[in-house]
Amino acid sequence: MASVTECPLTEAARCCGVAGERGESVLRSEPPCGSSAERRGAEGRAPARRARLTNRNQFLAVRRYGTSVRSRHLVAAVLENDLGLRRLGLTVSSRVGSAVARNRVKRWLREAFKRHGEELPDGVDVVLIARAGSPDAGYHQISSELRDLAVRLRRETCSNKGTVSRAGKGSDEGG
């Protein structure tokens, strides 16, 4: 048998299960480099499913009964939950732009929420709605606006506990 010299590209492809020793495809149940979450690290992980709003009724409840604040490119609505988790829901309509622009804005919002979500109290559901013009604003502008909205929402929810309750706007009790 002839000796095969290894090049870094071939080694990288083999490591990720793309090609075998002679170029044939190799199927693996797990990538040998570790799971995709391990490769991304803790900071790059998507929020756990329980830390996201997942259905229409959750989004509607936050919009209907929660407190909302607006900025030039974002609307943020917050509603208290019983889970003790800060859950995120994103709404980026076709009004914002093409699919590429909408996905870019969603990535920006998720990253900004990772950075500035601590400004919000624990145990709230947050819906972020991108307004038209968001893609033109850029990440830093969106991030700055989200930080400002988070501070405003924290101030409103802490000073006015009744406006965030599940009972509805402006009520302090469940009835």
pLDDT per residue over 55-108, tens digit each?
A: 999 999 999 999 999 999 999 999 999 888 899 999 999 999 999 999 999 999
For residue 174, being part of any structural domain is answered with no
25 and 85 both lie in a single domain: no
SS3 letters for the chain? CCCCCCCHHHHHHHHCCCCCCCCCCCCCCCCCCCCHHHHHCHHHCCCCHHHECCCHHHHHHHHHHCEEEECCCEEEEEEECCCCCCEEEEECCHHHCCHHHHHHHHHHHHHHHHHHHHHCCCCEEEEEEECCCHHHHCHHHHHHHHHHHHHHHHHHHHHCHHHHCCCCCCCCCCC
Question: Which of 55, 52, 107, 104 is closest to 83 using CA atoms?
Answer: 52
For residue 1, being part of any structural domain is answered with no
68 and 23 both lie in a single domain: no
**Higher per-residue confidence, 7 vs 156:** 156
pLDDT tens, residue by residue, 55-70:
999 999 999 999 999 9
Domain count, the chain: 2
Residues of the domain holding 125: 49-164
25 and 89 both lie in a single domain: no
- Asked if pLDDT for residue 164 goes beyond 50, the answer is no
Question: What pLDDT score was predicted for residue 73?
Answer: 94
Average pLDDT, the chain: 74
Whether pTM > 0.85 for this model: the answer is no
For residue 26, being part of any structural domain is answered with yes
Question: What pLDDT score was predicted for residue 85?
Answer: 87
For residue 3, being part of any structural domain is answered with no
Out of 1-10, 48-57, 155-164, least confident range: 1-10
Cα distances (angstroms) measured from residue 28 to each of 14, 15, 40:
11, 10, 20
For residue 59, being part of any structural domain is answered with yes
